[in-house]
Amino acid sequence: MEARTRILARVRRALKERPKALLPEHPHTPLAEDPVDLLLRRLEENGAEAMKLPREEAKAFAQRLAEGLPGATFGKTLPQDLRPPLPELPPEEAPLGVSWALFAVAETGSVALSSEEGRRVHLLPPTHLVFVEAGRVYGSLLEALQDLQSLPSALGLHSGPSKSADIGQVMVKGVHGPGRLIVAVLL
């Protein structure tokens, strides 16, 4: 507690004569286009694969993606019908993780993943398939953050495949997290 008291006392002393600065508001900038279309474009620019499709087709897509795989790992909140018919593997062994996003942000090309889903499923498999409902796509990050009612223990915003240019300035994918991010927006 001593350090706390001393730090706070020094802060107060430092600020005694300092004018107080006002806290500005953040303006909303309305989107000029459909948020789903912008989301898909931004995700692709970020190096992800992205598509919009009706739920039935999404199921078929997941099944095709799963073909020939020994198994997969699934987010806890993923609806049953979107699970490809594969045995469930531990995330550290699964070649595919399938999860359900809380929301998406168009302007940044991001999907938001809650820790209520689990965490390893989002991070360990080399390929990550994420479903998000079209109605949960926000135009801007500001709208999305202002709309959040409760916060999970960890919220991850994923905007593309894991990547690094640390080796000789050459872009490499799949360094620690998934090297392939596929986002399917359900219409």
Q: Could you list the residues that contact another protein (CB under 8 A)?
A: 1, 3-4, 6-8, 10-15, 18-24, 26, 42, 46, 92, 107-110, 115-116, 118-120, 122-123, 140-142, 144-146, 148, 151-170, 172, 174-178
Q: How far is the CB of 21 from another protein (least distance, A)?
A: 4
Q: How far apart are the first and last CA of the chain?
A: 54
Q: Quick one: 3 or 32, whose CB is closer to another protein?
A: 3
Helix (H, G, I), strand (E, B) or coil at 181: strand
121 vs 38: CA distance, rounded Å = 26
Backbone angles phi, psi at 176, to 5 degrees: -125, -45
Q: How far is the CB of 11 from another protein (least distance, A)?
A: 5
Q: Quick one: 58 or 137, whose CB is closer to another protein?
A: 137
Q: Quick one: 154 or 187, whose CB is closer to another protein?
A: 154
Q: How far is the CB of 34 from another protein (least distance, A)?
A: 18
101 vs 133: CA distance, rounded Å = 8
Q: How far is the CB of 51 from another protein (least distance, A)?
A: 20
61 vs 57: CA distance, rounded Å = 6
Q: How far is the CB of 144 from another protein (least distance, A)?
A: 8
Q: Quick one: 58 or 183, whose CB is closer to another protein?
A: 183
Q: What is the DSSP string of 94-142?
A: -SEEEEE-SEEETTTTEEEEEGGG-SHHHHSSSEEEEEEEGGGEESSHH
Helix (H, G, I), strand (E, B) or coil at 180: strand
Closest CA to 121 of 65, 177, 60, 168: 177
Q: Quick one: 59 or 128, whose CB is closer to another protein?
A: 128
Q: Quick one: 80 or 150, whose CB is closer to another protein?
A: 150
Q: How far is the CB of 131 from another protein (least distance, A)?
A: 19
